[in-house]
Chain A
Amino acid sequence: MYGYAGRILHIDLTTGKTYIEPLNEEYAKKYIGGIGLGMRLWLDHSQAGVEPLSPENPLVLATGPTSGTIWPTGGNGHAFVAKSPQSYGIGESKSHGSFGTELKRAGYDAVIFHGKAEKPVYVWIDDDSVQILDASHLWGKSPAETEDTIKEELGDYYIRVAAIGPAGEKLVRIACIINEKTRAAGRCGMGAVMGSKNLKAIALRGTKDITVAKPDEFLEFVKEFHERMKGPATKKYRTLGTPENVLVHNALHCMPTRNYTNAYFEGAEKVSGELLNERYAAKIIGCSSCAMRCEHICVVNEGPYKGAMARVEYEPLWALGPYCGVDRLDAVIKGSELCNYYGMDSISAGVIVGFAMDCYENSILTKEDMDGVEARFGSHEALVKLIEKMGKREGIGDILAEGVKFAAEKIGKGSEKLAQHIKGVEVTGYDLRCLKTAALGFAVSFRGADHNRHGAYAFDVKGKVNRLKAEKGRGKMVKDIEDVYTIIDSLIICKFSRGTYYKEFEDLSKVYTLITGFETSPEEMRLKGERINNLARVINTREGLGRKDDHLPYKVMHLPIPDEGPAKGAYVTQEELDLLLDDYYEARGWTRDGIPTPEKLKELGMDDLIPIVEAKIRKA
């Protein structure tokens, strides 16, 4: 098989046994790789209702067919899949760098971690040799320190490592898995799942050859994409980077500020992408095989946070900055660095701090509750202290480490109205009150609140629709773009490169065909994307999620935007949400309860999953 290593590695951490299973070619064709293949493997190896932080929740690491090749941005991705300790539905998170390419060269399309090790361990995959090694000396270390120590003790600089930090060890629900020091599989708490298995790190060395089915045409196509990546479709990522969004969103009044109290931040100029690049961006670097490079490495050269260094993108900048009312980029960079140190999703971390500040401002949490921290909106000192407390699960940090949904359940006193999440996953930097296509995309996203499952905000922000209006037709728009996004995450290619696929499914199917040799038409490619979205929904249905979970955060539905300007008064009513959901479910061919129908599954070639939905449809 081209594009695939053809093998799946199982590692049972309870027994220490490992075994290899050949990759089922039908699965490769149906689910591509990455999150598609990963979710299917997770479904096959888990029981309904499994507790996310129990040994019975397998953690799947998967690469896609582009991994290991020179395909621009494609060579380098990997995905983690498991049940999320935040959403209790399917969790998935991708990262880039050079880790995925190494796994493919080691000869695996996916690795499934089962069970739980008795003591802290790390797994060392050296081509065909797989060892489970003691990690007691790594426990408590940051992912970067862990990586350095492992490279040193295994004696090879080119070994690639993905690790959890102290937060993952302590089962912080927003813990992430970091590879190559600055790259995170951030969302959905995959680091907590890894920590629950006592698995500190995965170290890889792959020496095997990778080739493709049609090399000459493939290289021609690579060259064409190198040219496309020099063009307008990637300009933003190559220049200011995603932090360009700060001033754009602020002008549209769609930047949630101070825990969704406002949609406009008066301090935006002080945390703009322009200023970030002028003062702090020291170097822009690239992942393995990338021809556009985007990673803005930012360094603080003076002041209280002197020496802090982190990669900065819009989302973490927004979460640690405007969402907490903080207007200092040095504090944002420090906050990001701390999130990398403890191994936490910096988007969720910022949203949780914003939530805690809101609780403090509303006297739900007192200074005493906060361990003496004056958690006013805008306090950069409080931001930094609360991130540290969360990473250590110390004092109030122990409650905040649960994520806003579960923290609010513990705090009570109406704090659930301040907890801005969907399916337990914290919101991201798009004010859904005035971006109603995005609101639908976020509500139905199978991994909880997220912009990266659909990118539906683009229709609103770019003015392709009336963003303040909920109307029929948005369902199909969200469905269509979701079907592209699942392909992107399964191949795996980088979302920042999506604009270079001018002909969308035609380009995507061509890449897939040239690499794998499986002749695939654009329509067949689209079907794969649709199939993977349905697969995710079937999993969530099995785990008990449904229409009630396709909700929006409290403030989005109850607190109209107060700021004078283009979005004043905007919010989403229950009627609007119902209209959007009905429209989306209809476009998807699902029941009114949001369950995929047996007919739909049949059409997508997933007959074997029909019993899961039939049981739920009968109940509903």
Chain B
Amino acid sequence: MVKIHERKFVSADPDKCVGCQVCEYICAWTKEKTFNPLKSRIRVVRLNPLVNLSITCRLCEDPPCVAACPRDALTQSEENGTILVDEDKCNGCGWCIEACDYGAISLHPEKKVVFVCDLCKDKPDGPQCVKWCPEEALDLVTADVLAQKARITATKKLFQEALKVAPPT
């Protein structure tokens, strides 16, 4: 099984994401040679003008999408944790879509099989959404790195005063 420090996924910083959908355009282009958000593996949600976030597959441990598939069409890669879709087995029933808490797996409008982020495995420079995001809101991270970031931010907030007088590092 893939180790915790190797299982990287694309995550958006809600403070930085502005809802511009550049990630959707470049994802659909990279994977399907079209500018069509419906074929993007990452999707943007704008709840109101203040709340924007792009969301894609988070490579869950024991992924519920895999468990939900009655036809065993989905498996999780041993190598990097991405979800692999066997397009011959998938019949587009949508159980995996319902099982995913993040809406990260979608039904292809024409092929009628599901598709999900594969971290741009064919691209030497990795996920194109991360590379193209104008706000640098997207990052290829592990769950552990996310936790580290949160801890550091929390600590900085708690010790604002102390940091002001601390010697520069």
Contact = CB atoms under 8 A, between A and B. Distances in A.
A283 B49 contact: yes
Interface in B16-41: 18-22, 25-26, 29, 32-39
Interface string A575-589: 000000000000000
B27 to A, nearest CB: 10
B49 A291 contact: no
Contacts of A288: 20-21
Given A75-B35, A290-B134, A297-B49, 18 more contacts: A70-B26, A70-B29, A98-B21, A208-B36, A209-B32, A209-B39, A219-B29, A223-B132, A229-B134, A285-B49, A286-B20, A286-B134, A289-B25, A290-B22, A291-B134, A293-B18, A293-B134, A311-B49
A439 to B, nearest CB: 36
A212 B34 CA distance: 9
A289 B21 contact: yes
8 contacts: A98-B21, A207-B36, A207-B109, A219-B29, A285-B18, A287-B20, A289-B25, A290-B20
Given A75-B25, A311-B49, A289 B20 contact: yes
A68 interface: yes
Nearest to B52: A285
Interface of B: 18-22, 25-26, 29, 32-39, 46, 48-50, 52, 109, 132, 134-135
B35 A211 contact: yes
A7 B32 CA distance: 24
A282 interface: yes
Interface of A: 68-70, 72, 75, 98, 105, 158, 181-182, 207-212, 215, 219, 223, 226, 229-230, 282-293, 295, 297, 299, 309, 311
Contacts of A223: 132
Contacts of A293: 18, 20, 134-135
Nearest to B131: A223
B110 to A, nearest CB: 9
A69 B37 CA distance: 11
B34 A209 contact: yes
Contacts of B36: 105, 207-210
Given A210-B35, A215-B33, A285-B52, A291 B21 contact: no
B49 A181 contact: yes
Given A70-B22, A75-B25, A287-B20, A309 B34 contact: no
A68 B28 CA distance: 12
Given A229-B134, A284-B18, A290-B20, A68 B35 contact: yes
Nearest to A297: B49
Q: Which 9 A-B pairs have the closest CB atoms?
A: A286-B20, A209-B34, A70-B25, A291-B134, A286-B18, A210-B35, A297-B49, A293-B18, A288-B21
Contacts of B134: 72, 226, 229-230, 286, 290-293
A173 B137 CA distance: 42
Contacts of A219: 29
B135 A297 contact: no
A297 B50 contact: yes
Nearest to B135: A293
A229 B36 CA distance: 23
Contacts of A282: 50
A284 B132 CA distance: 19
Contacts of A212: 35
B25 A295 contact: no
A142 to B, nearest CB: 14
B84 to A, nearest CB: 25
B107 to A, nearest CB: 12
Contacts of B18: 283-286, 290, 293
